[in-house]
Chain A
């Protein structure tokens, strides 16, 4: 049995928690700074907290933009008429999982006080190069491989460790997509012990 989980569940109250922790820490730091006669230091501390959150929002929004593009890409693949079952079912399943990623990323951006990016009205894809089912699967595999690298590059940047953990959970899902697509293409599904 597969249990559906929400990797961002620990972040359900992140906005409130940051407010409480942030304001609590700010108050005490402010008090110390003011007592020491250094109000500029207190202001600087508050700015740093805000900068951390803004940085996390930017990373989440970049990931959200890529997820929205992946949803559109799978839509193009599924609608191309080139995919036959069971590859078509796989594409639709993976598209659904990218939608789940996008939903939770957008909600998290909102919780942090940001504005989630929206899907573009138009995406460019190399459709002229997609002539067979293998072309579509290869294109999707490339995007999934890129997504693994993108999340790998994003995980260490999060200031909030729970965000890093949640992003790593998505990374794992993208890696499974990539492996399954490689298998469908007749390639070694797990070509190396590490990803980069």
Chain B
């Protein structure tokens, strides 16, 4: 309970821009595209796989892609995906949202996270896969 509250507060803080996140770095989408290769065992832009699709990610409530079977932890999450919440989650998914099925240690380097987020922002809105 205490842990869930801490996570909620942390993510709320991130959404309000209180927490310093990827905003510290501008982010290079070209470098981010290469970092996204780490995600493609489980994710794709346009369709659900082991993980949910990424098209439309920014501004979407966490755990809300229709047809995807989320962990109870993610399904209960009450935050919206944006640069700050992504930065916090990608740093250490299991610590940020205990119970997530994203069994990935995270991306420790803030610059790498900023690059990936910059690419995700571009690809999930502008790529042909997401415009269909």
A187 CA to B38 CA in the complex, in Å?
19
Size category, B interface:
20 to 34
| A/B pair count, beta carbons within 8 Å | 65
The distance in angstroms between the C-alpha atoms of A62 and B94, with both chains bound, is 13
Contact A145 B47, beta carbon cutoff 8 Å: no
Q: Which single residue of chain A is at the shortest CB-CB distance from B40?
A: A146
Shortest distance from the beta carbon of B99 to any chain A beta carbon, whole Å: 8
How far apart are the CA atoms of A143 and B100 in the complex, in Å? 22
Q: Which of the segments A12-20, A35-43, A74-82, A151-159 contacts the partner chain?
A: A151-159
The answer to whether A97 has its CB under 8 Å from any CB of chain B is no
Q: Which of chain B's residues 33-53 have a Cβ closer than 8 Å to chain A?
A: 37-42, 44, 47-50
A61, A126, A142, A156: the one within 8 Å of B105 (CB) = A156
Q: Is B102 among interface residues, defined by CB-CB distance under 8 A?
A: yes
Query: Given known contacts A62-B50, A69-B50, A124-B48, is B41 in contact with A143 (CB within 8 Å)?
Result: yes
Q: B35-77 CB contact bits vs A (8 Å, 1 = yes)?
A: 0011111101001111000000000000000000001000000
Q: Pick from B38, B71, B102: contact of A146, CB below 8 A.
A: B38
Judged by a CB distance under 8 angstroms, whether A58 is at the interface is yes
Chain A residues with Cβ under 8 A from B103's Cβ?
Answer: 58-59, 62-63, 150, 153-154, 157
Contact B94 A157 (CB under 8 A): yes
- For residue A114, CB closer than 8 A to chain B, the reply is no
Number of A positions contacting B (CB below 8 A)? 26
Task: Judge whether A46 is part of the interface by a CB distance below 8 angstroms.
Answer: no
CA distance A146 to B37 in the complex (A): 6
A147 to B50, CA, bound (A): 12
Residues in A with CB closer than 8 Å to B49 are 69, 123-124
Please tell me if A55 contacts chain B, counting CB pairs below 8 Å: yes
Contact call B104/A153, Cβ cutoff below 8 A? yes
Judge if A149 is at the interface, Cβ distance under 8 Å.
Answer: yes
Q: Which of A126, A142, A155, A157 has the most B CB atoms < 10 Å from its CB?
A: A157
Find residues 67-102 in chain B having any chain A CB closer than 8 Å to their own CB: 71, 94, 99-102
When chains A and B are docked, how far (Å) is the Cα of A63 from the Cα of B38?
14
Is A184 part of the contact surface with B, judged by Cβ < 8 Å?
no
Q: Which of B38, B40, B48, B102 contacts A143 (CB 8 A)?
A: B40
Answer whether residue A66 sits at the interface, using C-beta atoms and an 8 A cutoff. Answer: yes
Do A62 and B37 touch across chains, with their CB atoms under 8 A apart?
Answer: no
B21 at interface, CB cutoff 8 A? no
A167 to chain B, nearest CB (A): 10
Asked if B110 is an interface residue, CB under 8 A from chain A, the answer is no
Task: Quote the shortest CB–CB distance from B65 to chain A (angstroms).
Answer: 13
A61 to B99, CA, bound (A): 13
* B residues lining the A interface (CB < 8 Å): 37-42, 44, 47-50, 71, 94, 99-106
List 12 A-B residue pairs with CB atoms under 8 Å apart, sorted by A's residue number: A62-B101, A62-B102, A62-B103, A69-B49, A123-B49, A124-B48, A146-B42, A148-B41, A149-B37, A149-B38, A154-B105, A157-B103
